[in-house]
A and B are shown apart, each in its own frame.
Chain A
């Protein structure tokens, strides 16, 4: 069985202007959404309390609010979580010291109104203001360091312009996935950072496979009597790896879709980020990484010896 005909030859590079427009629009929309709507940061970053409660029978949201009002949390964010019986309650930290007991007050309030046996504590999360700041800092550091480490590795294995191409694709992917989170208003939590880093790894994985082939074909091309234009070699390389790129996207998508639909509410957004990442990651390894790398041709030219040495690497 074959999804991609072996003699396929799509003019990817020829369409790069068109791809540039599409990427530009996606990036503008993402940045716009990030600037205007912003991300819906979860309590991991803002600090606060989250209580998930399972009721025997589905309650009305207004009743839940009425139960919290006497405790002083009538303004809490209350929403259904996956099923009508499951309710998620979110409260911001208070200025006062003892935010850690907010969850106790909430559970008490619910037990008083609905009866202690009618409700079940599913999850209590509390993040103090200081921890929220630390987690935010660690999250930003993680993404930056991952990108830097990858830049270094790719520079070492390829040429500097390849590394820049790969990082351009990464920035592109992260921005769009973040933009999607801003647009849909999905909660941005710690596991989503993990998903973002996985997207980085995945997108790069795709890019590297294409780059590897480009490097191999560049080396062969230079030995020819009449070397082809770099553009053509790159386009051939993308076509040669196309079957693999799509195959891997399909197998990974299969499992991530299984996670999305079966993995439960808690990792729903995590799986969503991965699905989005696989799509843009596949797109960017074809339409962003290589065109950017090509457009930088000649800017970081090392001497001939360096190129030879680079090509001699396995």
Chain B
């Protein structure tokens, strides 16, 4: 028989020890001196742990058009400051059109625009019309920034829920994956994450005629916005307001938001405190507009429009509504965490209740145990001593999978468990191939030791070919699969690689070790 090199014994022992050490953290907390690379247990996927799994899509185009809309405001102010008169200021989602009134001011206007808008391509003025196009790289940057900022805001909101180890990561260009393990209230999570929490403060146009505006003639610089839906005389109704378009203050100038009790109606409310800059603006604003109304707009709906009775220094504002304590609490959280830079939409959800996760773990472990016991018994009966050797390799294989998954930081999902179960069935395939070949060699009249050599040598290329094709399928699955299915691809790949080692090298090692001391072997127990 071929000699089995010493270094291979060493390799088997090393792998065995590392596997044992790597698998240990899954059973108990390892001692402090344990190598850190081997100290992490396998992570359980959300489908086993239970929790909320959401994929959000950020409306990045909205973020860009929002920014352009803000720039048109800047353009207006810059032109006014230089006393350049314009006859038209308009914008669409990525460009601005500016028409200058006097031909002799076009040159001065160009200078102003060039100074202020380096992020735009400014066309040569055709007559007195400028078209400013947002540079594509700027648009791209704005989109990226919107997603990054959305992640930041969502993280703040989720952290305030007090859950452990949420996962919030970017997926592709404009999607965000949110996982909150152990959290069950899918409705609340979606509400907290999905709200833009855009907060704006605008003045009510007291001189404008609301009725006229409603019939179509809105005064320049004004917009109509509505209050929340309410029922009046059995009909649903929303109170309209005629507001100045300009946003005086926004959620960016909020320093803090707390749940409070509205003293008039004894209801839950949220009290906002402005930051220094906001307080200064608020002070000036209230001073200049005593007697007028001031609208608080939350997510496009006018929450309230109280009358400014006097100048308010170091001000705070209150958001009311028939809130439940939890609603008020959540609203305070999202206002504190800040507004989303662009609307987000849930495009995929896979949330699992805690009991289903536990059931899946139990059922998965059951399948693994029963499946492997059946295979162990069958192999033992069918191949006797050699079957027992294959069984040792199979147990080693499972240990190796467990350790490898822990060390590479893989996530175990329910389909992943299925992958392990399947690997158990297929791992013995290599041994079946070898053992059948050994039997054939014996039938051809070879001596037992020669038959072992022949069996291993001839089966090797078949084993490699057969496993590589399965590995190809697993890799493709990993590339194209999503979430849990990826977990299946990972355990299947790890299982295949581990089984090649255990079924070939480990069984060979055991057989070589047990036959080494004997000179002659009459019969193989196969």
Q: Count CB-based A-B contacts (< 8 Å).
A: 241
Q: What 1/0 flags go to A264-297 for Cβ under 8 Å of B?
A: 1011001100100000000000000000000000
Does A120 count as interface, using CB distance less than 8 angstroms? yes
Chain A residues whose C-beta falls within 8 Å of the C-beta of B350 in the assembled complex: 123-126
Contact check, A101 vs B187: say whether CB atoms are below 8 A apart. yes
Q: What 1/0 flags go to B447-488 for Cβ under 8 Å of A?
A: 000000000001011100111111111101101111011001
Chain A residues whose C-beta falls within 8 Å of the C-beta of B469 in the assembled complex: 150, 153-154, 201, 204-205, 208
Contact check, A146 vs B371: say whether CB atoms are below 8 A apart. no
Cα distance, A52 to B186, chains bound together (Å): 13
Chain A residues whose C-beta falls within 8 Å of the C-beta of B428 in the assembled complex: 248, 251
- Leading 7 A-B pairs by shortest Cβ distance: A252-B425, A255-B371, A201-B470, A201-B473, A100-B346, A258-B371, A142-B480
Does A157 count as interface, using CB distance less than 8 angstroms? yes
CB distance from A21 to the nearest CB of B (A): 29
Cα distance, A159 to B363, chains bound together (Å): 44
Contact check, B374 vs A255: say whether CB atoms are below 8 A apart. yes
Chain B residues whose C-beta falls within 8 Å of the C-beta of A131 in the assembled complex: 55, 347-348
Determine which of A122, A247, A264 lies in contact with B353 in the assembled complex, contact meaning CB atoms within 8 Å.
A122
Contact check, A255 vs B476: say whether CB atoms are below 8 A apart. no
The residues in A between 165 and 210 inclusive whose CB is less than 8 angstroms from any CB of B are 190-191, 193-194, 197-198, 200-202, 204-205, 208-209
Contact check, B466 vs A254: say whether CB atoms are below 8 A apart. no
Contact check, A149 vs B476: say whether CB atoms are below 8 A apart. yes
Cα distance, A125 to B483, chains bound together (Å): 13
The residues in B between 380 and 410 inclusive whose CB is less than 8 angstroms from any CB of A are 381-384
The stretch that binds B, out of A9-17, A31-39, A133-141, is A133-141
Contact check, B474 vs A256: say whether CB atoms are below 8 A apart. no
Determine which of B353, B375, B470 lies in contact with A254 in the assembled complex, contact meaning CB atoms within 8 Å.
B375
CB distance from A239 to the nearest CB of B (A): 11
Contact check, B355 vs A104: say whether CB atoms are below 8 A apart. no
A-B contact pairs, 10 of them (CB 8 A): A6-B443, A104-B190, A125-B350, A200-B473, A202-B470, A208-B466, A251-B379, A254-B375, A258-B370, A262-B370
The residues in A between 210 and 259 inclusive whose CB is less than 8 angstroms from any CB of B are 212-213, 216, 240-241, 243-244, 247-248, 250-256, 258-259
Does B338 count as interface, using CB distance less than 8 angstroms? no
Cα distance, A101 to B192, chains bound together (Å): 13
The residues in B between 424 and 446 inclusive whose CB is less than 8 angstroms from any CB of A are 424-426, 428-429, 432-433, 436, 439-440, 443
CB distance from A90 to the nearest CB of B (A): 14
A124 in contact with B351 given A209-B433, A256-B422 (CB within 8 Å): yes
A248 in contact with B426 given A126-B346, A149-B472, A255-B371 (CB within 8 Å): yes
The residues in B between 340 and 386 inclusive whose CB is less than 8 angstroms from any CB of A are 345-353, 355-356, 359-360, 363-364, 366-367, 370-372, 374-375, 378-379, 381-384
Contact check, B429 vs A205: say whether CB atoms are below 8 A apart. yes
Chain B residues whose C-beta falls within 8 Å of the C-beta of A191 in the assembled complex: 415, 418, 484-485, 488
Chain A residues whose C-beta falls within 8 Å of the C-beta of B462 in the assembled complex: 208-209, 212-213
Contact check, B473 vs A107: say whether CB atoms are below 8 A apart. no
CB distance from B355 to the nearest CB of A (A): 6
Does B204 count as interface, using CB distance less than 8 angstroms? no
B439: nearest residue on chain A (CB-CB)? A6
Chain A residues whose C-beta falls within 8 Å of the C-beta of B476 in the assembled complex: 142, 145-146, 149, 197
Q: Which of B47, B359, B418, B468 has the most CB of A within 10 A?
A: B418
Q: Number of contacting residues on B, CB 8 A?
A: 78
Q: Chain B interface (Cβ within 8 Å of chain A)?
A: 47, 55, 57, 184, 186-187, 190, 194, 345-353, 355-356, 359-360, 363-364, 366-367, 370-372, 374-375, 378-379, 381-384, 414-415, 417-418, 421-422, 424-426, 428-429, 432-433, 436, 439-440, 443, 458, 460-462, 465-474, 476-477, 479-482, 484-485, 488-489, 492
Chain B residues whose C-beta falls within 8 Å of the C-beta of A150 in the assembled complex: 469, 472-473
Contact check, B473 vs A124: say whether CB atoms are below 8 A apart. no
Dominant secondary structure of chain B at its interface with chain A: helix
Determine which of B414, B472, B485 lies in contact with A153 in the assembled complex, contact meaning CB atoms within 8 Å.
B472
CB distance from A129 to the nearest CB of B (A): 9
Cα distance, A194 to B55, chains bound together (Å): 21
Cα distance, A287 to B468, chains bound together (Å): 23
Cα distance, A37 to B492, chains bound together (Å): 33
Does A312 count as interface, using CB distance less than 8 angstroms? no
Does A314 count as interface, using CB distance less than 8 angstroms? yes
Does A69 count as interface, using CB distance less than 8 angstroms? no
